Amino acid sequence: MPVLYAPFNALFGFIVLFTAGRTMSRVPHSERVRIVELCLRSYTQREIPALTGRSTNTVNCIIQAYRNEGRICNAPHDRRPRVTSAIEDEVLVAAAYANLFGTAQQHAQLTGVLASLTTVKRRLAEAGLRSRVAMQKPLLSDDNKAARLSFASEHSTWSVDDWKQVVFSDESTFTTRWDQKRRVWRPVNTRYEPEYIQEVASSGRTTVNVWAVMSRDGLGALHRIEGSLTAEKYSEILEYAMIPDALDGPCHRRRLPLPARPGPCAHRKKCQEIVN
């Protein structure tokens, strides 16, 4: 028979241990005053819980606080001391700025700060750094950036009607693997700042390249590019895909601009001759 009661006894002991460390919930000041008044009017500690709706343990704690300390209000609760020091906080922030794409665990291990990941994230948040998904953009050379800026400057005065007459074309890559989105520690409203952007390279993977054209009237041709896009292949696309589509397709009677993002393989002079 004792064996049958053993599981219940073990469970009861666990409940006692679990509840022993729990703190009493805050009791409104008006209720605490009423409990003390009832005690002073010689009500017993069995009668007071029935009149106030509070547990016997709560009533006893309030009465003992009044008798021993003369206190009716809640006892002051000191905040738990910070796990990290001010110097450790500064070291964590410095490590995050040194490696914006690092994880909280990496920063903690590098600095030797003994704190939970939640604490590390909280310290960085206090410094204005929060972990966010980084903005991705193609990895561009200085020449690519200069060419794009030049094109944007040349066409900055175009109106909406001007752009409605344009045929837009571009090549795109479908790949078996793409760079996973990374997280970056950055302040608010800095999404497009260069240091917080993840640059994505286009090499080192199996890919299929395609070229397409569109205008405000609809989609045009879709052309698969075998291998890399060279100057000769781009000229063939203009001559045998883009021009026929502009003459007979949905892009009929639209302007045929040169590529907005000319790369090193785009021979602009030859392309201009084909378009003309």
**Over its length of 276 residues, how does the chain's per-residue pLDDT go in tens digits?**
444 444 444 443 443 334 334 444 678 888 999 999 999 999 998 899 999 989 999 999 999 989 888 888 887 766 778 899 999 999 999 999 999 999 999 999 999 999 999 999 999 999 999 999 888 887 788 888 898 899 899 999 999 998 888 888 888 877 766 556 788 999 988 888 888 888 776 555 667 888 888 888 888 878 888 877 777 888 888 887 777 777 766 555 555 554 444 444 445 555 666 555
* Predicted model pTM: 0.46
What distance in Å separates the CA atoms of residue 77 and residue 129, rounded to the nearest whole number?
30
Residue 170, classed as helix, strand or coil, is: strand
| CA 63 to centroid of chain Cα atoms | 51
Q: What is the pLDDT of residue 136?
A: 80
Sequence-separated (6 or more) residues with CB below 8 Å from residue 235: 267, 270, 271, 274
Q: What is the pLDDT of residue 273?
A: 62
Token pair for residue 42?
Answer: 């010689």
| CA 79 to centroid of chain Cα atoms | 30
Helices (H), the chain: 2-20, 29-40, 47-52, 56-69, 86-98, 104-111, 117-126, 142-154, 160-164, 231-237, 243-248, 268-275
Sequence-separated (6 or more) residues with CB below 8 Å from residue 264: 143
What distance in Å separates the CA atoms of residue 246 and residue 253, rounded to the nearest whole number?
7
Q: What is the pLDDT of residue 16?
A: 37
Contact 256, 242 (CB under 8 A): yes
